[in-house]
Structure 1
Amino acid sequence: MHGLVFTLLKRYVQTQYDHSTWVRLLEAANLTAADFDHKQVYPDEHMYALVGQAAQMTGLSADELHEKFGEYLVPDLMYMYKRLVQPEWKTLDMIEHTENTMHRQVRSEHTENAPPVLEVSRISPTELFIDYKSERRMGALAVGIVRGLATYFEEADQIIVEPTTSENGEQVRIRVRQVPAQS
């Protein structure tokens, strides 16, 4: 997994808790690196160990933690890839174009990286399905990112995200619908 994800995870933990929580989390996960280099790639097992220990420390499930972290990632991801985003895009458009824009960019710049494959089917102007495919089994992270996108585009009260399969499988189907804004 790309070191940038670990760097952002560290910041997330420090923001939500504190630096000592990050240190305790590293120790509990038997990881010695206090800092991850954002340009390096690390074994996926490092992320599994950190999230597993965080779940034990917080009492939240790994899926809940992945979702919260996914939401947290969005502003940084949008900043990093802003040159690829069309100004008229909103939440559903962003999801529809992620595979052919951001993921394509990641794959071309970092051949050792393997972001999940997202097959998006636009059912109507207000609904789509995401078929997430990854051996990492982090569909909950994708669910969190979708929720984070809705917040980013100020559509959180209009976007409904419904995983229709288990969020920790290699293949996860996520239904995303836009409903009229609440007044």
Structure 2
Amino acid sequence: MKGIIYSELVGFLDVKGGPSFTEEVLAGAELPHGGAFSRVSRYPWEQAVQVVTSASKISGADANDLCEEFGKFLFDRFTVLYTEIVERYPTAEGMLAHVEDHIHEEVRVLYPDAEPPHVASWKDDDGFVVEYSSHRPFAHIAFGLVQGCMKHFGDPRSINWVDRDPTGKTAYFRIQ
């Protein structure tokens, strides 16, 4: 996984609990590099799980809730880091409809070794569905990203998790 995600995770921890909390979480995660993440390097996704597990243990917060909060935080950061991409879309649904064919395609061009999750979306009789699929168990982060996207665009609709794989590798979210 790209280091930028880890750098943002560390930033999230700083906002969530302050620098001393972040230091305690990273020490508790027992990472081989002590939590010094480079934005341009690659790290095993399991290290993100170690960090979230440590944060959950120290804070007492549910790990899935932390992942969803991080997803919201991450979308806010994407609006700053990738303004030109976010501004191309007038609505949350418009952006979510193009995650795979536009946004992740740009990620693959910028970072040829990147392995972004597969995100599909479609309209049905009950609303708009977003499907997340990955070899990594980060569906809760994806749920937070979708929530953050909707908030950013002022979309008042509700989002519900309609189907989930207990491994966290796939999920379906319905916006209505």
TM-score normalised by structure 1 residue count: 0.87
1:130: Cα distance to partner? 1.2
CA distance in 2, matches of 1:5, 1:30: 18
Relative to structure 1, is the Cα distance of residues 86 and 8 closer, same or farther in structure 2, using a 3 angstrom cutoff?
A: closer
**Structure 1 partner of 2:59:** 58
- The count of corresponding residues between Structure 1 and Structure 2 is 174
Give how far 1:72 is off: 0.5
CA 88–12 in structure 1, closer or farther in 2 if over 3 Å, else same: closer
Matching residue of 2:152 = 152
Deviation at 1:86, TM superposition (A): 5.1
What stretches of structure 1 of length at least 5 have no aligned partner? Answer: 178-183
Find the counterpart in structure 2 of residue 175 from structure 1: 174
Query: Which residue is 1:180 aligned to?
Result: none
The amino acid of 2:174's aligned partner reads R
Q: Any gaps of 5 or more consecutive residues in structure 2?
A: none
Q: Are the aligned partners of 2:27 and 2:34 in contact in 1 as well (CA < 8 Å)?
A: no
Q: Give 3-state SS (helix, strand or coil) of 2:168's partner.
A: coil
- Is this contact kept in 1: 2:89–2:95, CA < 8 A? no
What percentage of residue pairs aligned between the two structures are identical? 23
Give the Cα–Cα distance (whole angstroms) in 2 for the partners of residues 86 and 30 of structure 1: 39
Shift of 1:46: 0.7
3-state SS of 1:120 partner: strand
CA distance in 1, matches of 2:169, 2:46: 16
- Partner SS, residue 118 of structure 1: strand
The TM-score, its normalising length taken from structure 2, stands at: 0.90
CA distance in 2, matches of 1:86, 1:17: 31
Q: Is the 8 A contact 1:84 1:101 kept in 2?
A: no
Q: 1:105 to 1:17 in 2, by over 3 A?
A: same
Q: What per-residue deviation string (whole Å, max 9, x for no partner) do you get for residues 42-79 of structure 1?
A: 11111010011111122222211110000011122123
Return the letter of the residue paired with 1:25.
V
Q: CA RMSD in A?
A: 1.8
Residue of structure 2 equivalent to 1:181: none
Structure 2 CA distance for partners of 1:83 and 1:122, relative to 1, 3 Å: same
Distance 1:26 1:102, change over 3 A: same
Partner residue in 1 for 2:19: 19
